[in-house]
């Protein structure tokens, strides 16, 4: 078991190396760099720009830049953001935490609603409950994140029940800690719901179909034949066997959340990794872009890894080696 965990973590290294290398390559393929724009400014002498470029090794070929970056990363230094004029690490940690918070709560909302709803729909197959859930899922799957985010913003603005964007109010730093907590939560609710919505429908439909499959299984009939109550039949025999494919999509779901977070964070002004990546990308803040991509990849890989561990924990047929 532990050797498996170790091996999986070891597998992450070449993956992250590959992803970072590819990102560097793609960034270098686009013309110009962060300082190209500065050259247009008559107040900044070309010498200064050249000095700054040299300082960040931007005058070197991309693979040299990559090795400088890698050398620093090994030492725990993720480079310097040219746009923010601060070390990338301090920038990313806060943003990563925000994205993690957003994704985590979206995950809890999506799964917390989808699983009971899916079970409910499957057990009451073809009833009006099932139909209502299907309609809900259809709408949820069809409405794009972008539109939903905009609708949420409009909703927040129209009702005033929720703050319009951001992760905290301007007076956050002056609030007592209990109110600080509430302030964060208040800002989190709407983006988390929007982010959860698109995932929720898919998970619910999957839960429903998986449970319907196992409810038809012979061992479920066998459990009924022995006189087990229907609630136990569903929980102990059907549900536990239906959960496997869901644990697998749990890993994917994390990926979907992270990419969904890119859109939602940008529209709803949530200061997360997705928004940072986008800003850094447009500013050609190359080291920051690579850092962001590597962090997002790391989150994704860890998510899949957690899903695999859950699968092994829940299913006796799966042994990790």
Partner 1 sequence: MSLLEVKNLKVHFPVKHGMFSRTHEFVKAVDDVSFAIEPGETLGLVGESGCGKTTLGRAIVRLVEPTAGNVLLDGEDVTRMNGSILRARRRKFQIIFQDPYGSLNPRMTVEQIVGEALDIHKLTDSKPARQKRITELLKAVGLDAIYAQRYPHEFSGGQRQRIGIARALAVEPELIICDEPVSALDVSVQAQIINLLRDLQQERGIAYLFIAHDLAVVEHISRRVMVMYLGKIVETADAKAIIRDPQHPYTQALISAIPEVDPESKRQRIILPGDVPSPIHPPGGCPFHPRCPIAEERCRTEVPAFREVAKNHFAACHLAGTKIDLPRNPARREAV
Q: Smallest distance from the beta carbon of 252 to partner 1, in angstroms? A: 23
* List of residues contacting partner 1 (CB under 8 A): 217-219, 221-229, 237, 240-241, 315-317
Q: Contact 112/204 with Cβ under 8 angstroms?
A: no
Residues pairing with 87 in the sheet: 80
Q: How far is CA 112 from the centre of its chain?
A: 17
Supply the angle between the helices 62-74 and 286-314 in degrees, to the nearest 10. Answer: 60
CB of 8 or CB of 236, closer to partner 1? 236
CB of 119 or CB of 301, closer to partner 1? 119
The closest of 75, 70, 89 to 23, measured between CA atoms, is 70
CB of 50 or CB of 228, closer to partner 1? 228
Task: Please tell me whether residue 81 adopts helix, strand or coil conformation.
Answer: strand
Q: Smallest distance from the beta carbon of 219 to partner 1, in angstroms? A: 4
Residue 278 CA to residue 267 CA, distance in Å, equals 12
Q: Contact 92/292 with Cβ under 8 angstroms?
A: yes
Q: Exposed (0-12), middle (13-18) or buried (19+): which is 191, by Cβ within 10 Å?
A: buried
Q: Count the residues in the chain.
A: 321
Q: Smallest distance from the beta carbon of 138 to partner 1, in angstroms? A: 16
Q: Smallest distance from the beta carbon of 212 to partner 1, in angstroms? A: 15
Q: Smallest distance from the beta carbon of 225 to partner 1, in angstroms? A: 5
CB of 141 or CB of 217, closer to partner 1? 217
CB of 208 or CB of 237, closer to partner 1? 237
């Amino acid at each position: 078991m532990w050797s498996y965990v170790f091996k999986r973590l070891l597998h992450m290294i070449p993956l992250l190396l590959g992803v970072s290398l590819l990102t560097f390559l793609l960034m270098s393929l686009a013309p110009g760099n962060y300082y190209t724009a500065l050259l247009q400014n008559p107040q900044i002498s070309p010498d200064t720009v050249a000095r700054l470029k040299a300082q960040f090794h931007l005058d070197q070929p991309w693979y040299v830049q990559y090795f400088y970056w890698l050398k620093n990363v090994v030492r725990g230094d993720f480079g310097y953001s040219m746009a923010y004029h601060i070390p990338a690490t301090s920038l990313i940690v806060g943003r990563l935490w925000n994205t993690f918070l957003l994704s985590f709560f979206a995950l809890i909302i999506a799964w917390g609603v989808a699983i009971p709803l899916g079970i409910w729909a499957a057990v009451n197959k073809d009833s009006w409950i099932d139909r209502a859930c299907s309609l809900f899922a259809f709408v949820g799957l069809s409405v794009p994140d972008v539109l939903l985010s905009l609708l949420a913003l409009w909703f927040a603005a129209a009702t005033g029940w929720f703050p319009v964007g951001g992760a905290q109010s301007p007076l956050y730093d002056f609030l007592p800690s209990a109110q600080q907590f509430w302030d964060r939560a208040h800002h989190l609710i709407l983006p988390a719901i929007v982010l959860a919505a698109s995932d929720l429908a898919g998970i619910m439909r999957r839960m429903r179909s998986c449970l319907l499959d196992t409810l038809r299984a012979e061992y479920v009939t066998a459990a009924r034949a022995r006189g087990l109550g229907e609630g136990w039949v569903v929980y102990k025999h059907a549900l536990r066997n239906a959960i496997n494919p869901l644990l697998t999509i749990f890993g994917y779901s994390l990926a979907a959340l992270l990419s969904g977070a890119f859109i939602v964070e940008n529209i709803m002004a949530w200061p997360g990794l997705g928004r940072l990546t986008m800003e850094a990308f447009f500013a050609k803040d190359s080291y920051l872009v690579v850092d962001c991509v590597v962090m997002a990849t790391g989150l994704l890989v860890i998510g899949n890894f957690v899903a695999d561990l859950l699968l092994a924990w829940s299913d006796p047929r799966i042994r990790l080696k």
